């Protein structure tokens, strides 16, 4: 299968800082590929090198079979790009901005497509962009990246600042684009949304690709924290001895704060036999998850 994106030994310096340390990527045509890593890992730098928004210092890159350095205009013409740091002409309305982008792309988009996308995103396209909230500006960026039905969709943290319902709509749009033949490459620091739609996941940390993973495997590595309040005092070893469960703290004899690695099935079955008053869970940040699972790897950098 042809690659939509192929890099070998991609290196980028900012002054003396080596932001990318030899990134190897293979993104197949027609797949949704999640690019996962904590903030500062090198996700945005990689994307900017792929589109030649910044020049790589070493290594090779191909996007849709082209070198982004020598064929940057053609690469961008066939790509829909949503940057992580979105800067728009705030004197225009979204409608005016979409017309502008359409002219740049050779009038490849019809009004019905733009209107349908705006309706699905719940975006008012008439008022000036300067009057829009951060979330609505994000919607403008997403629509301009999708409206010309590009071969390759590249999005850097696309759901940042959107409410949960709109986030789900964006993920649906990316799936639909893939079903119509597009390749989707998107970065995120939200593990759950990558798990929801990606077919493969590239994990980057400290400018190095650590692993290419099956998203299903990420769920088995996921961390959860749980706060359990019991109706009476309970011996913490009754849950702390379970596989993957660690007691972080105990207070008042009745409250336990736990960390759970992987599936929570064993914990839930154990709690079903105990006098539980309340149960709350939270998912640690991606940074904490990376520290838990990739500490040994990153110490070798």
Positive or negative CA dihedral for 1, 42, 207, 196? negative
Closest by CA position to 34, among listed 173, 211, 161, 168: 211
Average pLDDT over residues 97-112: 91
pLDDT tens per residue, range 204-220: 988 999 888 887 776 66
| Beta pairing partners, 195 | none
The confidence band for 299, taking pLDDT boundaries of 50, 70 and 90, is: very low
Which residue is it, tokens 């759950």?
192
pLDDT tens per residue, range 41-71: 899 999 999 999 999 999 999 999 999 999 9
- For residues 238 and 270, the answer to whether their CB atoms sit within 8 Å is yes
Please indicate whether residue 217 or residue 180 has the higher confidence score (pLDDT).
Answer: 180
* DSSP secondary structure string for all residues of 95-111: HHHHHHHHHHTTS---H
pTM as predicted: 0.80
Contacts of 200 (CB under 8 A, 6+ apart): 31, 33, 34, 212, 213, 214, 215
Instruction: Please name each of the domains of the chain with its CATH number.
Output: 3-78+150-218 (3.40.50.300), 86-147 (no CATH), 223-282 (3.30.70.920)
Note every long-range contact of 174-181, with CB atoms under 8 Å and residues 24 or more positions apart, other chains counting: 174/32, 175/32, 177/146, 177/149, 177/153, 178/30, 178/31, 178/32, 180/149, 181/30, 181/151
pLDDT tens per residue, range 133-178: 999 999 999 999 999 999 999 999 999 889 999 999 999 999 999 9
d(CA 272, CA 181): 47
């Amino acid at each position: 299968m042809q690659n939509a994106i192929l890099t070998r030994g991609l290196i980028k310096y900012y002054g003396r800082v080596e932001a990318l340390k030899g990134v190897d990527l293979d993104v197949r045509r027609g797949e949704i590929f999640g690019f996962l890593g904590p903030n500062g890992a090198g996700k945005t730098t990689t994307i900017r090198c792929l589109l030649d928004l910044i020049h790589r210092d070493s290594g090779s890159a191909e996007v849709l079979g082209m070198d982004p350095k020598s064929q940057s205009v053609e690469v961008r013409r066939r790509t829909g790009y949503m940057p992580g740091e979105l800067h728009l002409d705030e004197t225009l309305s979204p409608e005016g901005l979409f017309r502008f982008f359409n002219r740049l792309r050779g009038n490849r988009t019809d009004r019905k497509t733009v209107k349908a996308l705006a309706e699905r995103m719940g975006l008012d396209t008439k008022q000036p962009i300067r009057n829009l909230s951060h979330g609505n500006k994000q919607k403008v960026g997403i629509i301009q990246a999708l409206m010309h039905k590009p071969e390759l969709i590249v999005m850097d943290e696309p759901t940042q600042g959107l409410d949960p319902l709109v986030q789900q709509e964006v993920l649906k749009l990316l799936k639909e684009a893939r079903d119509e033949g597009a390749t989707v490459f998107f970065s995120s620091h939200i593990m759950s949304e990558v798990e929801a739609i990606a077919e493969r996941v590239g994990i980057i940390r400290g400018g190095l690709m650590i692993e290419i993973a099956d998203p299903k495997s990420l769920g088995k590595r996921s961390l959860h924290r749980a706060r359990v309040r019991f109706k009476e005092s309970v011996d913490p070893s009754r849950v702390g001895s379970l596989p993957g469960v660690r007691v972080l703290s105990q207070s008042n004899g009745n409250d336990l704060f736990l960390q759970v690695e992987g599936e929570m099935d064993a914990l839930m079955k154990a709690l079903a036999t105990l006098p539980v008053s309340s149960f709350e869970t939270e998912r640690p940040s991606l940074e904490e998850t990376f520290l838990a699972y990739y500490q040994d790897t990153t110490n070798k950098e």
